[in-house]
């Protein structure tokens, strides 16, 4: 079994993104990403601050807007409108989930599709499904890159995605069965109503676990030599201590799998790297600058 080192692959992508930032700067464009948070969830606060640190590392200007979680929803909608109108901002990310009194669908369709570096706007979702993505969503794109780094040929492979979320499950399936590089897999999407999950996962050459259920994928559910991508980040109590585990029983599955992503250090760093990638891509598109994307 090999560990797929997401931190190392992400570092390579960040280095390529830093080169794109140089090209943009020489062309008079300072790429900028705005993050917006309207939530008191400490995990979301951590994710947003990590994204801002990543920006700084590669030379992208990071702008952060905190909207008070008690404020009327209109305050968030107005913030998005202002960022849309600001030519100095090339990418906008509204950290999900937002507080309950905000209409999430309205948020997703309010972000200018050209600045939608998450790829969540209905137009960008439509383009992905139609096989002509503007921005590949960050986690699915990161998964594709990890499979490539692990030497997995997806063409004709059996891929099973566990989870049907808009952020991970659905777009990952689209990329895996799509016609592009890292696609052409025969792809099954399983979810909470799937009758015999193990029957599907045992068939798979590639398992993507993205259900948000701690350690649900166990050794008996994975075929010998399969590649296992663990998207889960679950905080659980173990022996009286709080710890992070994925959706895969790592210790159990690692002896069966051919390759597996650890948690942390697998998919997480890739999601963040692909956000930087989408941001320089957005800035380049908006200003008509040619960049050599990593
Ligand atoms: N919450 C969990 N994952 C994501 C993501 O990729 N983008 C945004 N905006 N929010 C998230």
What pLDDT digit, counting tens, does each position of 187-201 carry?
999 999 999 999 999
Peptide bond into 264 cis (omega under 30): yes
Contact predicate 275/51, CB 8 Å: yes
Distance 275 CA to ligand 1 centre (A): 10
Please work out, in degrees rounded to the nearest 5, the angle formed at the alpha carbon of residue 270 by the alpha carbons of 238 and 232.
30
Q: Is 93 in the pocket of ligand 1 (CB under 6 A)?
A: yes
Q: Which atom of ligand 1 is nearest to the CA of 93?
A: 9
Task: Measure the CA–CA gap between 136 and 229, rounded to whole angstroms.
Answer: 18
Q: Which conformational region is residue 240 in: left (phi greater than 0), alpha (psi within -120 to 50 degrees), or beta?
A: left
pLDDT in the model for residue 278: 99
Domains of the chain as residue ranges with CATH: 26-112 (3.40.50.10860), 138-267 (3.40.50.720)
pLDDT in the model for residue 256: 97
pTM over 0.85: yes
Residue 268 belongs to what H/E stretch? Answer: helix 267-287
Contact predicate 35/63, CB 8 Å: yes
144 is catalytic: no
Q: Is 54 in the pocket of ligand 1 (CB under 6 A)?
A: no
Q: Is 139 in the pocket of ligand 1 (CB under 6 A)?
A: yes
* Residues whose CB is less than 8 angstroms from the CB of residue 49 and which lie 6 or more positions away in sequence, other chains included: none
Contact predicate 24/286, CB 8 Å: no
Q: pLDDT tens-digit profile of 103-129?
A: 999 999 999 999 999 999 999 999 999
Q: Is 73 in the pocket of ligand 1 (CB under 6 A)?
A: no
Peptide bond into 97 cis (omega under 30): yes
CA end-to-end span of the chain: 27
pLDDT in the model for residue 1: 82
Q: What is the pLDDT along the chain (294 residues), one digit of tens a residue?
A: 899 999 999 999 999 999 999 999 999 999 999 999 999 999 999 999 999 999 999 999 999 999 999 999 999 999 999 999 999 999 999 999 999 999 999 999 999 999 999 999 999 999 999 999 999 999 999 999 999 999 999 999 999 999 999 999 999 999 999 999 999 999 999 999 999 999 999 999 999 999 999 999 999 999 999 999 999 999 999 999 999 999 999 999 999 999 999 999 999 999 999 999 999 999 999 999 999 999
Task: Measure the CA–CA gap between 276 and 274, rounded to whole angstroms.
Answer: 5
Buried b (16+ CB within 10 A) or exposed e, 263-278: beebbbbbbbbbbbbb
Q: pLDDT tens-digit profile of 66-99?
A: 999 999 999 999 999 999 999 999 999 999 999 9
* Residues whose CB is less than 8 angstroms from the CB of residue 208 and which lie 6 or more positions away in sequence, other chains included: 143, 159, 160, 161, 162, 163, 169, 172, 176, 229, 231
- Name the active-site residue from 116, 118, 205, 247: 118
Q: Is 118 in the pocket of ligand 1 (CB under 6 A)?
A: yes
Q: Which atom of ligand 1 is nearest to the CA of 96?
A: 10
For the beta carbon of residue 123, count every other beta carbon within 10 angstroms: 14
Instruction: Decide: residue 77, CB within 10 A, 0-12 exposed, 13-18 middle, 19+ buried.
Output: middle
């Amino acid at each position: 079994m090999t560990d797929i080192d997401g931190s190392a692959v992400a570092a390579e992508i960040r280095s390529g993104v830093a080169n794109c930032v140089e090209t943009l700067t020489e062309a008079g464009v300072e790429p900028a990403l705005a993050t917006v948070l309207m939530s008191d969830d400490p995990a979301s606060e951590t994710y947003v601050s990590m994204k801002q640190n990543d920006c700084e590392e590669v030379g992208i200007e990071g702008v952060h807007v905190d909207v008070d979680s008690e404020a009327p929803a209109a305050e968030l909608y107005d913030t998005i409108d202002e960022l849309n109108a600001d030519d100095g901002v090339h990418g906008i990310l509204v950290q999900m989930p937002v507080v309950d009194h905000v209409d999430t669908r309205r948020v997703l369709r309010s972000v200018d599709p050209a600045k939608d570096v998450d790829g969540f706007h209905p137009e960008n979702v439509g383009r992905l499904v139609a096989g002509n993505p503007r921005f590949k969503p960050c986690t699915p794109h990161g998964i594709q890159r990890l499979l490539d780094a692990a030497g997995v040929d997806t063409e004709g492979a059996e891929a099973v995605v566990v989870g049907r979320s808009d952020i991970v499950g659905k777009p990952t399936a689209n990329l895996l069965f799509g016609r592009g590089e890292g696609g052409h897999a025969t792809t099954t999407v399983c979810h909470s109503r799937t009758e015999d999950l193990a029957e599907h996962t045992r068939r798979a050459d590639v398992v993507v676990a993205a259900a948000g259920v701690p350690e649900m994928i166990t050794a008996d559910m994975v075929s010998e030599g399969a590649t296992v991508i663990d998207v889960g980040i679950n905080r659980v109590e173990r022996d009286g201590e709080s710890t992070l585990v994925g959706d895969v029983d790592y210790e159990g599955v690692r002896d069966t799998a051919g390759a597996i992503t650890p948690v942390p250090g697998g998919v997480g760093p890739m999601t963040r790297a692909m956000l930087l990638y989408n941001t320089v891509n957005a800035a380049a598109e908006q200003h008509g600058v040619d960049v050599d994307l990593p």
